[in-house]
Amino acid sequence: MDWSSTLLLAVAGTGAGAINAIAGGGSLVTFPALLLLGYPPVVANVTNTVAAFPGYLGGVWGYRRELAGQGRRILMLGAVTALGAIGGSALLLLGSERAFVAAVPWLVLGSTLLLAVQPLLVRSRADRARTPRSERLRWATLGQLGVATYGGYFNAGLGIMMLGVLGIALDEQLQRLNALKGALSAITSAVSLGCFVIFATVSWPAATIMAGAGLFGGWLGARLGRRIPVAVLRWSVVAFGLAISLVLLVDHAS
């Protein structure tokens, strides 16, 4: 791997770790970077998922103050998350590579559009407060199962979907929801990582570079997340994701 490829992966990994910690959507940076370097889509997806794990850990460490008192919630939703991640990873490994390649542009586009409308998915605190706690937790559990299955299949946009589900279901402050999202994303990534290390092909040089950079980026993003307007980051990633989606659609059609 030459120095330019190493630099690209390091910058992408740092940016993705920070973006995942702040808002979600970091894989919309690293996945296209791997494709740009010529990695096959499935290998790029698997490598991207493996590389994302340290970034999630960095975000969890940075948000440890907001995670205080959420241990029971993490255990309950974490078990469902692990189950969904196993299902999604199995679907990727056992499914058709041609089907995955055809789906990639639409998955990226869907993740990007979801990031754009994310604020609309979060109901007001008053609406959530009127919903019984047991019902909110049940919807959070069901939603988290679906999101984790998606995350095991395709990591890009995982944090976006997860924060949307948690924001709809739980009556909690945004920063604490963001911290919970980071912890559950780390569980999804850890389970998928275990499946992929055993059963899939991982580009370890690329994964190592992005993972190290992502760990720093996750810590940095958690610190900056309290200062940077989320809207600024959101629309920057949305613009990038739309451009990548267009390129992938044109490339697939040609």
Q: Which single residue is written with the structure tokens 């069901």?
A: 142
Task: Calculate mean pLDDT across residues 125-132.
Answer: 56
Q: Is the pLDDT of residue 17 over 70?
A: yes
* Average of per-residue pLDDT values in the chain: 82
Task: Calculate mean pLDDT across residues 151-158.
Answer: 82
Compare 182 and 164 and report the one with higher pLDDT: 182
Q: What is the pLDDT of residue 150?
A: 87
Compare 243 and 153 and report the one with higher pLDDT: 153
- Split at pLDDT 50, 70, 90, the class of 124 is low
> For residues 115 and 25, is the Cβ–Cβ distance under 8 A?
yes
Helix, strand, coil % over all residues of the chain, rounded to 5: 85, 0, 15
- Split at pLDDT 50, 70, 90, the class of 121 is low
What is the C-alpha separation between 102 and 252, in angstroms, rounded? 7
Compare 2 and 171 and report the one with higher pLDDT: 2
Q: What is the pLDDT of residue 226?
A: 64
Task: Calculate mean pLDDT across residues 47-68.
Answer: 87
What is the C-alpha separation between 87 and 104, in angstroms, rounded? 18
Instruction: Tell me the Ramachandran region of residue 38: left when phi exceeds 0, alpha when psi lies from -120 to 50, beta otherwise.
Output: left
Task: Calculate mean pLDDT across residues 73-89.
Answer: 93
> Nearest-CA neighbor of 81 among 161, 165, 184, 163?
184
Task: Calculate mean pLDDT across residues 219-233.
Answer: 72
As a whole-number percent, the residues of the chain with pLDDT over 90 amount to: 28
What is the C-alpha separation between 115 and 146, in angstroms, rounded? 17
Q: What is the pLDDT of residue 86?
A: 96
DSSP secondary structure letter of residue 200: S
Q: Is the pLDDT of residue 60 over 80?
A: yes
Q: pLDDT digit string (tens) for 166-212?
A: 877 777 777 788 889 889 999 999 999 999 989 988 999 999 999 99
> Nearest-CA neighbor of 49 among 181, 188, 145, 143?
188
Domain boundaries, the chain: 3-253
- Split at pLDDT 50, 70, 90, the class of 232 is confident
Sequence-separated (6 or more) residues with CB below 8 Å from residue 157: 24, 25, 27, 28, 107, 108, 110, 111, 112, 114, 115, 150
What is the C-alpha separation between 141 and 36, in angstroms, rounded? 36
As a whole-number percent, the residues of the chain with pLDDT over 70 amount to: 86
Q: Is the pLDDT of residue 125 over 60?
A: no
For the chain, the farthest-separated pair of C-alpha atoms sits apart, in whole angstroms, at 57
